[in-house]
Structure 1
Amino acid sequence: MFDFRSLEVVHWDYWQRFSLPLDTNIVTVVGPNGSGKTTLLDALRTLLTIDCAGNRDYKSYLRHNGKPFAWLRARVGNTPGPSGERPFFPLMDREVTLACRIQKKGGEWTRQYAVLGGDVSVEEIESRGEFLGLREYRVRLEGAGLSQAIRRVLTLEQGATDKLCQLPPKALLDLVFDVFGDKAVLDDYQRARNEQGEADREQHGLEHQLSLIGVSLQEAEARARSFQEWNALKTERVDLVSEILPRTELAELLAGIRGARPQLTGIKRRVTELERRDVELARQLGELDAQGEMLRAEQHEADLARQQTQKSLDAARAELAQNDLLIKQEARLREMVAAQGGADHERLANVARDARALANHLQAEETRLRQELTTVTSQLSAWRSGRRYTPDFEASFRRALDDAGIRHSMLSEIVEIAEPRWQPAVEAVLAGYRHVVLLDDPRDREAAWKLGEQHRYKHFVVADRAPAGSATRGSLLEVVSFSAAAPEWLLRNLDRIRRVENVTEGASCSRDQDWITPQGYFKERRGGRHLGVDDMYFGSAARERQLRDGEAALRSIEARLREIASERKDALARASDAEAVLRGASASSQLADRADEFAEAHEQQARLREDVQRTADSHAAAEQHYEAVREKRLKTSNARDNGAREQRDVQRQLADAVRQHHQLRGEQVERLKAFRAKRRHVPLALRGRAAMASLRERFESPAAVRREIDRVERRLEEGHWEQDPSVLALREKLLSNHDGLKLDLEKRRVHLERASRITHEARGAYIQVLRNTVRRYAKNLKVLAELAGIGVEVDLPELSNDDLALSSAALHVRFEFDKKGWIGMDDGEASGGQQVMKSLLLLVALMRDEDRPGGFVFIDEPFAHLDIFNIDKVGAFLKSTRAQYILTTPATHNINVFQPSELTLVTSKRRPGATWAQPLAVLRRRSNAA
């Protein structure tokens, strides 16, 4: 093994160029953190083609200075070993120069190496140009003693000196054998054993091949059967595609034609029945319309008669009232005659004033009721004629639409409520949409919206409409029917609302569900509230109720007007009487002057009451007759509305049935065309009833035939079929080779047995060398342990000439520190300093060899976990070995770390602003002789 004498670096990291002596056994590199200690060791590792420490590589040190090249040159010893052979033979110089040139070419860094005898400078090496490649250079270094195991030891990172004791016992034994050269011999033996095993496996393979020759004829026959099956599958595929599939499709079409006939007949029968029902409903509607016109005329006549009797009754009542007034005036005059003697003029003034005020109030109330009477009369006129009452703002806007030629309808005209029980709920939801206008043509939207803007119409004008589809079960839409297309948003809104019987049922629904009760209590995402309305607006039931409520309101207004007339007359009379007394009129003279008038009034009183009773009876009879006619007309109108709804439903079903009949008939025609087209390509014998029935039993449908075709094609594609008929020639050739192969196998078997015996005996003889190597390493450990004051026990492995024993052999080492008991290599009981000392012992024992002196070790900060006393111990036994140690230590360590060192290299950090770092300072220990 060689050792280092000096090192020269050029453009390495921040070092420009300098040389360092390394010609002592122990070299200590000291300096602060980041000053280049590990950089120096990585330079030596790069020179020896060893990986740098940590995550660094040689390229990272070349990027700092910006130079395109760098040199590493070392002068090493080439001293002959105990056997007389020099490490770098055939170089016979006492010293050898190792050099590494790193250049940047094409953007990449490349390395070249040189091994030259003597001390050769960088310039001379470059002029010679005798460079080696990486692989050849590594072979030269391995020949000089730098084995793979030493490489692994030299790559220990900073502060990781204790990692060697973490090796498993098996790995430690392999490392010992590798360092002392026995691993290569064992590998050679194992390689020979592997080659013999491979030859033995080859022998068994040939024997197996020989055994297969006996069955080769069966294999050839199997290949022939594969060829026949391949031909059969191809024939089957042709038959399926060209014959079976067309026949199956023909049978499928025939079955489809026969199966569609009952359905086509049924739908045609349904069309006929619906057409008949439509005609019948049209006839009934015509009869109802005629009956309605007749009843409307009869109602008009009854109304005229009722009005006439009402006029007669009013006239009789007026005449009676006038007569009663005369009698009352006589009574008041008589009271005035009696009271004139002591009249209270102040009281009479108050009576006159109050009576006049009451008369004025009744006049204002009469004016208001007359206006309401006009409105109610207009509404009743529309309701009695079967129309809906239209407010002025709606009527004005609709007249504008009609004048512009925009066809439209109102939402209230197309809505009908199927279940009267849910009328309040529907009215509550649709209350805000009573005056929504629906356009018949969506293209009129712009013109309609412009008119809506002009008239300030505050309700929606909808252009986009959609037919009402099937409603969700239980929704509010389910009880509402539309005679025409409605706004799509309204349909979605009604379909989203669920009908519930009460609030308790609604509360059990999900939180996102909208619901409403029959009384109109509505719940949405914002909460619940009552939406019920007092009147009804949608459907025939709403019109009937509006008619009843309107007639009741008319009767109430007329009765109140009559009461107001009577009260007003009485008030005016009291005011006149009081004013007459205040003016001093003579009541007795009035009684005398009007005595005949008062007497006639008393005589007419009974007759006038009889006239009133008679006209009242006539009016009641006319009123009863009118109500009977009106009720009959309403029933006829309801029947007509129900019939119209039924006719619309029948017409809708008829349209669906006709469309379905056309669709089914078209499909049947297409099937017939396809059947006739396919029938021409199928022979008559193959399309008979029996042939078709047999085919349908085998294949149910064309899909089954296609699946069978796919199966056959998949087998043809995925199978490994024999398509070559020359299998018989192959069998003859195998028979001819049988005898020659058998003779060759006998010769190979004899040679293999002889080689295996020789290898086994040679490895058995070498086992003693392995035992000596292990004993020598154990001896080195014990000697070094005595120097360090540490107890060491080594369990020597049981080495025998057996593959299993050699592969499982391991080297177990135990240590004892300060008489505190024995511990293993890496059992977790040792301190950090003890881990370092164990690793140093294992490491130095590899280098301490009396037969192979020399060698070198890089140890980065070996004293990191050691106290002062352990540093002295380690330094003492390092000095006792003959290996070369290059150690690093930080500047903060105890001075005892320099005690074993004969040469100290001091690093320093690069000064701020400087391009290059300072060269290392060299401190050499003065010899004892000096």
Structure 2
Amino acid sequence: MCRMTTARRSTHWTRRRPMFEFRSLEVVHWDYWQRYALPLDASIITVVGPNGSGKTTLLDALRTLLAIDDRDMARDYKTYLRHNGKPFAWLRAVVSNPVDRRGRRAFFPCMDEQVTIACRVRKRGGDWTRDYQIVAGDVPVEQLDAGGEWLGVRDYRVRLAGAGLSRAICRVLTLEQGATDKLCQLSPRELLQLVFDVFEDKAVMDDYQRARAEQFDIDKEIVELQQGLAELHLRLESARADVRSYEDGMALRNQRQTLEAEIAPKVELADLRATIDGAKPRLTGLRRGLRERERSYAELQAQEDASVEARSGLGASIADARAGLKAAETRFTHARDQARDAEQLVRRHDELARLQAERGGADVDALSREVEQGRRRQAELRLEADRDRTRSGEIAAQVAALRGGGRVVEPFERDFRAALDRADIGHAVLTELVEIADPQWAVAIEAVLAPYRHLLVLDSPRDAREAWQLGEKLQYRHFVVAERAPAGPATRGSLLEVVRFNADPPAWLPRQLDRVQRVADVEAGQRLPKGQDWITAQGYLREHRGGRHIGGGQQHFGTGAREARLASLHAEAVEIQDRAQAREDTMATLVREVDSAQTRLLGLDAGQELVTRAAEFADAQARLPGLADAAQSAVIALAEARSALDACEAQDRDGSIAAATRAGELRALAQELRDRGSQIAQERVGLVQRMVDFRKRRSKMPVEWRSRDALRVAREAYESAGAVRRELERIDERLERGSFVEDPACVAMRDKFAADHDALEAAIGKREAHLHRARRITEDARGAYINVLRATVRRYRKNLSALGELAGIGVDVEMPELANEDVALAQAGLTVRFDFDRKGWIGLDDGEASGGQQVMKSLLLLVALLRDEDQPGGFVFIDEPFAHLDVANIEKVGRFLRSTDAQYILTTPITHNLNVFEPSDLVLATSKRRAGSAWAEPVAVLKRDRSEAAAA
């Protein structure tokens, strides 16, 4: 056979591996041959013998060794093994291991010149099985049987394909006996189909056609199924409505029974346990808080004692500073008055001189309007000055409160807290309890807690009723919380993890913060489970109602909020001072302008006044520089005295504020110590009573009901016993008003309809998806595969032309019209014409060719199916190629076979002319099994020495 490809075919041709050739063959227990070895190291091997002597048996042994078993024949390898009665058989061949142009061996990683391929057939479980092995070198059967890596049929075929034995070669090797010399009798269409079949294109095109026929049938079936689905859907919806009604009624009855018999006692016991569990740490926290308050009281008392001693010495310093300030003010006033009087006289002189110069062109109406507007502007500036002075006082009070550890309080909150203080109700605002542990999340925490910045927490739950009455009276619109509890451990990644409480917060607040997860951005929040609340650092919150941005610029909680508020107040104070300075400058300018206009309106004689007061004006001008220097010195001395007094007063004021703050804290701590002592005693008595009640109730319940997990689950489902009672009332009302189906058979009917509907809908969906996809893939793939068909025909035409040149026969191939259309593909044919001895062109089977020419045409058509001009070599099995040929044609066929540079294994009966052996380098003679003999005679071997024949 000529060299063939082992690569998978696609829309382009790939480079092929070199094809191996046989060197020897050994059979053990194959048909009636016991064991013998045959040399196959020749280019043309002729197997000769009478009919029934085993020529085809030998070829079938080679096919079995090559794992070619899809041949349409009556006998397979199992038939041959049943004849001799042996439980096993061996087929072993030594083949070449050629090197391709890249230096790679055909049986890589085997790098030897020769490779042994073997097939072991054994009987297992009543059936025959095959195992294959490929090893480097010439390895005997006994060594192979002793060990080695055995391959299955599929893996073995892959290895052979890598060595050059492609599926196309296997397809040709399965042609029936005598069919190889009848290829020229095929019609153009049949020849094209054979070419496509050998190169595995026909199966692909047949698959395309079958797929299109199946798609048409499926489309009609889908339409029918959709009609049935619509009818089934109506019945299913009706059954579902009945089942929903039935299930709703049963669920309500079962739920009521469970609530009344099990959940209610569990929730009541869980409430009692939760109260006890909450009271124990609360009692511990109260005791710890009492000790902390005692330590704080002692520290504040020590600070107060030290402050009293320090302030006693500060009083004398303040008195001395005030005396020095008074003396400096007297000196400043005297110097300022003298300098001012002299300056006023100088300005009066200058103004009179200017008025004297401008007196002739004065406009009375314009001067009147100027005076009126100036006075109005002076009034506006004085009003702004009053507002700024009021705001400066407020800022000073707020700064003092913030520096003293307090906070800026809204009027409504201040009034309500004052009412609580008058009622002697201890309380704290939430902003005083919260500290932000991580500044990165300050915006998010401020946004979440912003609605609760005016929330008040009572020190004792006993004051709740009175506090709520005051809230109703004063219309306080924010929460007043009596229930407080220590914050539990925070969930990792929650908002509670970055919040710290200075005292026990409202019991519900830590749970609310713990439910909110912190995320880097919205994308990270989307990856959390459905129903999980989350917030970003910029304040974008997602909860059960949806997502929204709640972040803002205000800060109310923690030390950071106090510092930010102080900075804001300081900036506002600086802005007010700047406005006051600008306002003073504007007022001075206005005074001068108004006085000038008013003087001009009065019509005074400026010239007369200048003459009358000339001496006074001259004296003022002479004394003004000295008086100005004296006034400046007095100003500096006054500023120094005032700074000294301000420093002492500021120190005293800070001390007074601190003392007042400490006094208030000491009073509050003393009252708190008394309240906490009383509260601890009451809490302890109440805890003991609840524990006794809990044990009594628990002893009456089943063991599985009173476990911690059971109680926790019940408490999570219903927050309190009151919630259980309300749920029972709601269920009773629904049962009374609802008309529920009571027949349980509706469930089975619904399930049957649903199963039928789902199965039918899924089947339709799958079929439609498969149908659409198959249509698209089929059309696209067949359109693309047309290029493969054209490449196949071009390659076959090239092979025929090359073989025709070797045989001295002209070959002309007409390319068929291949288009992506069913009729065109079905009618396409491959027209081939031959020219023997320049006698004119003849077709495939037109009756003009002789028998020898028919054989030559068939051989050309056959070998062209397998030829690869890039990698010559390989092998071919041909049954009786010389049948019905005369001597001349036999010689011509022999020369052609020798010129193709391939290994041929031919069969011929013994009745032929001796010229059939002329091209053979090796002759294998088979013989029939003798009567009474269990085994056939070994095959005789005749090998020709071409060198001696040439010398002769």
TM-score (norm 2): 0.37
User: Which of the two has higher C-alpha Rg?
Assistant: 1
